[in-house]
Structure 1
Amino acid sequence: MNKTQQHCARDITWIFLLLLLTLLLLPCTVDGDGAGECKCKNDDEEGGEKGVDKALARNYKIGALVSILLASAIGVTLPLLSKIFPALHPEKDLFFMVKAFAAGIILSTGFIHVLPDAFEKLTPPSLCGDPWKDFSFAGFVAMVAAIGTLMVDSLATAYFKKSTVRGMDGVVDEEDLHNHHATHSHAHASMASPSTELLRHRVISQVLELGIVVHSVIIGISLGASENPKTIRPLIAALTFHQFFEGMGLGGCISQARLKRRAVIIMALFFSLTTPVGIAIGMIISGYEENSPRALIVEGILNAASAGILIYMSLVDLLAPDLMHPKIQASTTLQIGVNASLLIGAAFMSVLAKWA
């Protein structure tokens, strides 16, 4: 794949996702008169949050920033070190099990952590006015985000498959193009397969990073804005594990995408810095009202969109291809190992929902 195709792939992906994000944020423009006047807080919350200790909370937040930064960096980097740790090479058995574990983490994050939070923020009593009480906006936004992710996958892959075929000498007919995986009878179609697979891995890595980054920023800002040490303390350990294993899932996708070193470093840094930067922003901003109608709407919509992306990516792009991989299909032991890793990852992150 040449540089022009790589740049076009990146541009198409981000332009489409920006359009999708614009669509998802349209409900934020709804007149919130009813929601703005509604008293959604409890009476004891009006008097101020109990247990507030700004000095101690600040120390905890600095510790969280460092801890999460290190965990994110280590998690996303480990799968990229296949030259140092051969067992982590994408074709090794251990890589399949680690990736399944990380996919279980990401799937549980979408279902257990992010989507319920979106429902909580976008439904009464959080928002008491129309149209929030009459329609499931959280479910709708998650569905639109999942469909949008599917479209990015499909359109980008189809476009560059055609571009690759057109760039070769000769013409590949439609029937050969659709059946080359089964027959291997057409030379050009067989040559196009690795390029198409590589493109798919690159699209997957970029879209997955977007979905992870969206909710990571929100988590960071919420933690950074909190002044209650009792709330922050359990979040530090939970989010440290959370970012570590999400990083492993993302790192596995980046490894399979075989990007240039510069692109790999940028993506790894972007993921590693997202939550710490969110924490820093939360610490800096003043007067952040996380229970205000506008904040609830924006956070709820972004969380729902993130959940849709994460659920789609974990099931369709991470788990399905690996579980159907010829190497896994040919080994009962490896099948059991991969499925067990998936269940353990999902269970582990589900338990962490008690604290984060």
Structure 2
Amino acid sequence: MRLFSRDDPSSDDELNCGSGGGADTFLPLRIASVFIILVGSTFGALFPVLAKRTRWLDERMPKALFDFVKYFGSGVIIATAFIHLLDPALEELGSPCLSEKWSEYPYALAICLGSIFMIFIVEIVAFRWGTKKLAKLGVGKIANDDHDILAQPQLSALGEKEKSINSGNTDLEINQTPRSLGDIGTNANTHRVQEGERHPHSGEIVDSALSQIVGVLILEFGVILHSLLIGLTLAVDPDFKVLFVVIVFHQTFEGLGVGSRLAHMELPPRFRYVPIWGALLYAITTPIGIAAGLGVRTTYNPGSTTASIVSGILDAFSAGILIYTGMVELLAHEFLFNREMIIGSNGKLAYAIGCMMLGCGIMALLGRWA
């Protein structure tokens, strides 16, 4: 979130790099914003979760609407990473309040890069050690062979056919040329059943309870840091009215993105409340940030040296988290490694991509004002 505007002609003359307070105007509306944004954030994050878990809503809401929220939210998260986090981080760590050493190296980009690799390592560690422990408890399963690692049956179909030929197995019609990716996936599945192999989805690491929880926790962590900074800025920013309207939509749309991920988690009964708690945690972060900002509004200066450094580092770190989540957890898993998308109709694929681009476009547009 931008803490000051470098394009504002008055900012060069009036920029306060000391310890002065933020704006104190519209105090009643700022207090009301705590509850207004709480309602919007709660609705955005909790509605997809409750709709998926409530039989009455689940039966009456078309699947296309759930898909819209899911892919729309993916676009929102990706746009948030680049437009609402990385760009402000570059501005904040390039503030004229900072010493010249901060301009000698692109620290914001370096922090973002380090964040991406840190999250990658965290996931690798969690999957290699944590999944085994959950498997002992009967929560997650570990893949035992190469077929289980492949999330998509069609990706290993040709290898299965070659194996069938080499082993002399005549159960699979090896002379039949598959007419589509769907046929390849079907033949591969048939061959697995005939060989007595487990269905690959029964042991996928990517679909284990641990992987889902870790993925959502990473997403929540990045979004929560961002939401706290948004709330803190809103409480003291002089351009409150415009920022307030934009942040209401911002938090609602971002809540839909988080809520849609939470809603589609398939967890054992013992973890059934994780999505609900995750939605509520997101909902309260921005109001907490606003309340904290109101509490320190007389001493906190969003344009000070310390504030620029802290918010710039947190924005860059959060940007790396959401970039990794958006590219790997959302785009790769939902499109490239999703059998339903690869062999599905062109119309369904176009609808999903369109929803994602719409969410990304709207969130990018909101970056014009916040």
Category of TM-score, reference length = shorter chain: 0.7 to 0.9
Q: String of CA shifts for 1:87-119, please: whole Å, max 9, x gaps.
A: 798x94433332111111111111111111100
Q: Distance in 1 between matches of 2:349 and 2:59?
A: 18
What is the aligned length?
Answer: 306
Change (3 A) 1:217 1:271: same
Question: Does residue 1:104 correspond to 2:112, yes or no?
Answer: no
Question: Does residue 1:240 correspond to 2:211, yes or no?
Answer: no
On the 8 A contact 2:215/2:325 being kept in 1, the answer is yes
Deviates more, 1:213-222 or 1:157-166: 157-166
Could you say what the CA RMSD is over the residues aligned between the two structures, in angstroms?
3.0
Alignment of 1:246-325 (within 5 A): 246-259=254-267, 260-285=271-296, 286-324=298-336, 325=338
Alignment of 1:8-87 (within 5 A): 42-45=12-15, 54=24, 56-80=25-49, 81-82=51-52, 83=54, 84-86=56-58
Change (3 A) 1:88 1:351: farther
Question: Does residue 1:326 correspond to 2:339, yes or no?
Answer: yes
Question: Does residue 1:153 correspond to 2:164, yes or no?
Answer: no
Q: Distance in 2 between matches of 1:53 and 1:301?
A: 23
Which residue does the alignment assign to 1:133? 103
State the AA in 1 paired with 2:292.
I
Deviates more, 1:57-66 or 1:174-183: 174-183
Q: String of CA shifts for 1:261-293, please: whole Å, max 9, x gaps.
A: 443332222111100010000000131122222
On the 8 A contact 2:127/2:205 being kept in 1, the answer is no
Alignment of 1:111-126 (within 5 A): 111-126=82-97
Q: Distance in 1 between matches of 2:358 and 2:144?
A: 45
On the 8 A contact 2:45/2:280 being kept in 1, the answer is no
On the 8 A contact 1:235/1:355 being kept in 2, the answer is yes
Deviates more, 1:292-301 or 1:186-195: 186-195
Change (3 A) 1:164 1:195: farther
Q: Distance in 2 between matches of 1:53 and 1:337?
A: 44
Q: Distance in 1 between matches of 2:89 and 2:226?
A: 11
Deviation of 1:152 (Å): 2.1
On the 8 A contact 2:23/2:236 being kept in 1, the answer is no
Change (3 A) 1:88 1:321: farther
Q: String of CA shifts for 1:61-94, please: whole Å, max 9, x gaps.
A: 12321221111100011211223432798x9443
Q: Distance in 2 between matches of 1:205 and 1:88?
A: 27
Q: Distance in 2 between matches of 1:181 and 1:165?
A: 22
Q: String of CA shifts for 1:137-160, please: whole Å, max 9, x gaps.
A: 100011111111122222212324
Change (3 A) 1:46 1:298: closer
State the AA in 1 paired with 2:58.
P
SS state at 1:287 partner: coil
Larger helix fraction of residues: 1
Q: Distance in 1 between matches of 2:291 and 2:48?
A: 28
Q: Distance in 2 between matches of 1:344 and 1:85?
A: 25
State the AA in 2 paired with 1:112.
I
Query: So what's the TM-score if we normalise by structure 2?
Result: 0.74
State the AA in 2 paired with 1:242.
H
Q: String of CA shifts for 1:4-57, please: whole Å, max 9, x gaps.
A: xxxxxxxxxxxxxxxxxxxxxxxxxxxxxxxxxxxxx62234599xxx973x52
Unaligned runs of 5+ in 1: 1-40
SS state at 1:257 partner: coil
Q: Distance in 1 between matches of 2:16 and 2:216?
A: 44
SS state at 2:303 partner: coil
Q: Distance in 1 between matches of 2:256 and 2:212?
A: 15
Deviation of 1:166 (Å): 6.6
On the 8 A contact 1:165/1:189 being kept in 2, the answer is no
Question: Does residue 1:225 correspond to 2:253, yes or no?
Answer: no
Please identify the structure whose Cα radius of gyration is greater: 2
Q: Distance in 2 between matches of 1:319 and 1:277?
A: 31
On the 8 A contact 2:152/2:339 being kept in 1, the answer is no
Q: Distance in 1 between matches of 2:23 and 2:152?
A: 62
Change (3 A) 1:151 1:47: closer
Q: Distance in 2 between matches of 1:174 and 1:355?
A: 51
Which residue does the alignment assign to 2:8? none
Deviation of 1:174 (Å): 4.9
Which residue does the alignment assign to 1:4? none
Change (3 A) 1:108 1:176: closer
SS state at 2:100 partner: coil
Deviation of 1:194 (Å): 7.5
Change (3 A) 1:291 1:190: closer
Which residue does the alignment assign to 1:340? 354
Unaligned runs of 5+ in 2: 1-10, 154-187
Deviation of 1:253 (Å): 1.6
State the AA in 2 paired with 1:102.
G
